[in-house]
Amino acid sequence: MKKTILTGDRPTGPLHLGHYVGSLRSRVELQRDYVTYVLIADLQALTDHGEQPERVRQHVLQVALDYLAIGIDPNVATIMVQSGIPELAELTLYYLNLVTVARLHRNPTVKEEMQQKGFESDVPAGFFIYPVSQAADITAFKAHVVPVGGDQVPMIEQAVEIVRRFNRLYGSLLIEPVALVSKIARLPGTDGQSKMGKSLGNAIFLSDATEVVAHKVMNMYTDPRHVRAQDPGTVEGNPVFSYLDAFDPDGRRVEELKRRYRAGGLGDVELKYHLIEVLEGFLAPIRARRIEFAKDQDEVTRILRAGTEKGRAAARRTLAEVRSALHLDHY
């Protein structure tokens, strides 16, 4: 029997190259070998964008277009919208009893996000507990594998703890998920910062037009001490090379460029022209498919409705089992 994959994204902006490297790529590669569920997590998006519900709604469609454009096949994988599956909220409520406030405080990703969002003194409770709702997302579909970027590993760890506690207290019902982190767990931003983030202003989006990609690459951070082409440059921590490692299909060519850069004699402009070409080769077919799907939004809506309905049926089954395990099925 095939194992199950569940993963998802918050629809707070369009998806970018970091998402692709971290998790989108493996979803496309694995969708035929696993029963694959992909969740557009609009309820989770409201935990930090509660004041912008219209933005979240619009990005549900944008994220769906990104999925379809990169090759997630709706005839193979189930694409679902979280708010259409209220069973997930109910599961969250039960799981909240299995985790302490102190444990939630120790989640490093939540901590980092709280800092980024200025939530340190005044965190919305819904945001603070989103790792628990994510555990509900994962377990509702009895997922074995969760392909995610490196920043999401603490969420899977927390889900595993909840599953263990649940199974110990109420009988082995839930599946312990395993995180699948890609070789390149984190793609740096165009500013050289450690993480590409949609709200950090350092992302190249899958939907960016050719000129936008070229402009972002030309402004990319490189090695600040590599001033003239003939100077030796540093490859490590240089985002241009991180992107080439991730996207240039010709690894030998990348090694040769690294050698020339280190030795001196390869200018940033020449190097960046090469990266633009590589990214264009990768993004052009994605962009074309996106435009095709965007022409027929009714079809995209139908895909989301059908996927959500199918996902809901699976979540309903798990919820019934959970309620029974919790002795909540008598009335």
Q: For binding to ligand TRP (CB under 6 A), which residues are involved?
A: 6-10, 39, 41, 44, 134, 137-138, 146, 148, 152
Under 8 Å between Cβ of 3 and 142 = no
Q: Which residues of 280-312 are buried (b: 16+ CB within 10 A; e: fewer)?
A: eebbeebbeebeebeeeeeebeebbeebbeebb
Helix axes 268-295, 297-325, angle to 10 degrees: 90
Residue closer to ligand TRP, measured from CB, 181 or 246: 181
Residue closer to ligand TRP, measured from CB, 158 or 222: 158
CA angle at 318 for the pair 316 and 320, rounded to the nearest 5°: 70
Query: Going by C-beta distance under 8 Å and a sequence separation of 6 or more, which residues neighbour residue 235?
Result: 241, 258, 261, 262
State the nearest-atom distance from the C-beta of 231 to ligand TRP, in Å. 39
State the nearest-atom distance from the C-beta of 244 to ligand TRP, in Å. 25
State the nearest-atom distance from the C-beta of 229 to ligand TRP, in Å. 40
Residue closer to ligand TRP, measured from CB, 7 or 222: 7
Cα→Cα distances 21→18, 96, 211, Å: 5, 32, 22
State the nearest-atom distance from the C-beta of 304 to ligand TRP, in Å. 16
Cα→Cα distances 326→67, 138, 160, Å: 36, 19, 19
State the nearest-atom distance from the C-beta of 141 to ligand TRP, in Å. 9
Residue closer to ligand TRP, measured from CB, 38 or 279: 38
Residue closer to ligand TRP, measured from CB, 186 or 272: 186
Residue closer to ligand TRP, measured from CB, 7 or 107: 7
- Which residue in 252, 243, 199 sits closest to 221, CA to CA? 243
Give the gyration radius of the chain's Cα atoms: 21
State the nearest-atom distance from the C-beta of 153 to ligand TRP, in Å. 11
Residue nearest to ligand TRP (CB): 41
- Which residue in 189, 257, 262 sits closest to 231, CA to CA? 262
Q: SS3 of 6, please?
A: strand
5: phi then psi, degrees, rounded to nearest 5: -110, 135
State the nearest-atom distance from the C-beta of 59 to ligand TRP, in Å. 12
Residue closer to ligand TRP, measured from CB, 64 or 146: 146
Reported as type and span, the H/E element at residue 155 is helix 153-170
